[in-house]
Amino acid sequence: MTAPISATVVLADSDVARALKRMAHEILERNKGPDRLVLMGIRTRGIPLARRLARQISEIEAVEVAAGSLDVTLYRDDYARTGPRPLGQTSFPAEVDGKVVVLVDDVLYTGRTIRAAMDAVMDYGRPQAIQLAVLVDRGHRELPIRADYVGKNLPTSSEQEVRVHLAESDGVDEVVVATAPASAASATTPLATAAGPTRPTSPATARRRA
Amino acid sequence: MIPHLLSMQDLSVDQITAILDTAETLKEIALRPIAKVPTLRGRTVCNLFFEDSTRTRISFEIAAKRLSADVINFSAKGSSVSKGEGFKDTALTLQAMGVDAIVVRHAASGAPQQLTRWVDAKVLNAGDGWHQHPTQGLLDLFTIRERLGHIEGLRAAVVGDVFHSRVARSVVQGLLTMGAEVTIVGPPTLLPPRVDTWGTAVSHDLDAVLPKTDVLYLLRVQQERMGEQFFPSSREYARIWGVDRDRLARLPEGAVVMHPGPMNRGVEVTADAADAPNSMIQLQVTNGIAVRMSCLYLMLGGEDGRAADVGGRGSNSERVEA
């Protein structure tokens, strides 16, 4: 019953690099080049991923592609339940009117973050299309949303926790699946430091402010 | 979470910093093609103003609307207050109708505090008597931090009619909390009793203070609150305490001039000084919206941010019926 949390590395750093490289090619293929692309990383771990995809695309096409950052806190559907969260900056590298906005996030889970992100983008203009790129799709959607570009499909149970570590913030590139002891869901607390936008909101991760 | 926003004195360094940080992000919303976010959909904010106000009421109204809250404006003129309805009955009426936040301005010091005893809604003090005007103090701190990069260690001079000024009480407390040095400057008749307990320096010589001032905060001469003579004439006040181009020139490089508005041009500040490049007066007004959005955002979230429960909440609905 007191079994320790088991954590399995499902993507190592070379796997992450290969996945991002393939996704960059897929984005270019689907959109017939980089001309209208605006890559928007969803805070927090989507931001370095968007930068890396932009760098890959820039290398492949030999043109500069910029990445922006998107904070969806003000568009979330749980403000009335869990209260205010700290806000982050949103910055678009270019106008979005008529562009293809590629949302980039680390883990696709319920889809609620992506719903919020689409609403946020629409407030900045009328993109020609919005697409979605995620490093990991772990299933368990609660909204009719799917990703256009997926690094890895990762079937999980909702008790499991998917942690994406990136060199920029965590010193290493890897994706880890952690399984908490079945008896206590709250045992995931020590992992809450890795909480990203798509994580299930448990009392432990729901941050409150003064 | 902040339960109610009544006085600057209630706020810690961390709480003030959280409000300013949040305001910094929210300020960007005004620049978007669609200057509105859906965060406070379904929340109702009532502006309950028993005293005249233009900028504060409009600022709160814009702030609430940019966050998609519904806004009700209630001013004493033209309401049932002019039919003799008392403060408590007005409050209980709003309670029964179910509003989530009440922004209140009242001539009596302590009125917002009293309001919190009657309603479930979050109460934001928009100025009570000579007591407090916390959102003004917060927007001033925000403007100082935005322009000068920090607040701690700055030398601020608060000049003029401190006695009648709720703004002064809020801004001085805020500056002291955030680690600034404050000097209160004015004629002895316009300084409050026991000003020595405020934790500030006191001076009656504006020209001596100017060269050691990073933030020159001018207060409005509140002629409407002055039942008796506090100084011989406006012209004499302007000569001794008013700020013109010459006095601005004595400030150190990079110093800023602030005023909570509305200005008496020609009394506490000349027209050309008010419009000088280091005058923050218009920026203060702009920043007021972001700071008030921040307060609403931080106060109205979560289950306990919702008071609109018409007919529910036993204790208070019983009181309405009683």
ipTM score here?
0.85
Residue extents of the structural domains in chain B: 8-133+284-320, 134-283
B-chain residues near A82 (CB < 8 A): 301-302
Across the interface, whether the CB atoms of A80 and B305 are under 8 A apart is answered: yes
* Greatest pairwise CA separation for chain A in angstroms: 56
Kindly state the tokens that stand for B94.
């709003």
Mutate to test the interface with A, among B37, B138, B296, B309 (most CBs of A within 10 A): B37
Nearest to A208 among B1, B33, B40 (CB): B1
Quick one: B250 exposed, middle or buried, by C-beta within 10 A (0-12, 13-18, 19+)? middle
A contacts of B43 (beta carbons < 8 Å): 80
Q: Which residue has the tokens 């109702």?
A: B44
A-B C-beta contacts closer than 8 Å: 68
* Average model confidence (pLDDT) across chain A: 87
Share of chain B above pLDDT 70, in %: 91
pLDDT at A183 over 60: no
CATH class of the region B134-283: alpha beta
Q: What is the mean pLDDT of residues A126-152?
A: 97
Distances A81 to A96, A201, B269 between C-alpha atoms, Å: 32, 11, 48
Q: Which of A168, A161, A167 is nearest to A193 (CA)?
A: A161
Does residue B39 sit at the A interface (CB-CB below 8 Å)? yes
* Count of Cβ atoms closer than 10 Å to residue B105 Cβ: 26
**Chain B 111-130, CB below 8 Å of chain A: which residues?**
none
- Over 90: is that where the pLDDT of A134 sits? yes
Contact status, residue B140 vs residue B28, Cβ threshold 8 Å: no
Nearest to A124 among B33, B67, B297 (CB): B33
With left for phi above 0 and alpha for psi between -120 and 50, is residue A55 left, alpha or beta?
alpha
List active site positions of B: 55-56, 83, 105, 133
Distance between CA atoms of residues B1 and B16, nearest Å? 12
CATH node for A14-156: 3.40.50.2020
pTM recorded for the entire structure = 0.88
Those residues whose C-beta lies under 8 Å from the C-beta of residue B132, and which sit 6 or more positions away, are: B6, B7, B8, B9, B109, B125, B166, B169, B170
| pLDDT attached to residue B312 | 40
CB B131 within 8 A of CB B109: yes
B302 at the A interface (CB within 8 A)? yes
Q: What is the mean pLDDT of residues A178-189?
A: 58
Can you tell me the mean pLDDT for A44-62? 96
Half-sphere exposure of A81 (CA within 13 A, CB side): 7
Could you give the CA distance from residue A11 to residue A172 in angstroms, rounded to a whole number?
11
**Residue segments in chain B with a per-residue pLDDT below the cut of 70:** 1, 78-80, 82-84, 225-228, 307-322
Mean pLDDT of A129-144: 97
B219 backbone dihedrals φ, ψ, rounded to 5°: -100, 155
* A82–B301 CB contact, under 8 Å: yes
The one-letter amino acid at B159: V
Mean per-residue pLDDT for A85-108? 95
Q: Does B28 touch chain A (CB under 8 A)?
A: yes
Fold of B8-133+284-320: Rossmann fold (3.40.50)
**Beta carbons of B301 and A125 less than 8 Å apart:** no
Residues 6+ apart with CB under 8 A from B228: none
Test A86 with B297 for CB contact under 8 angstroms.
Answer: no
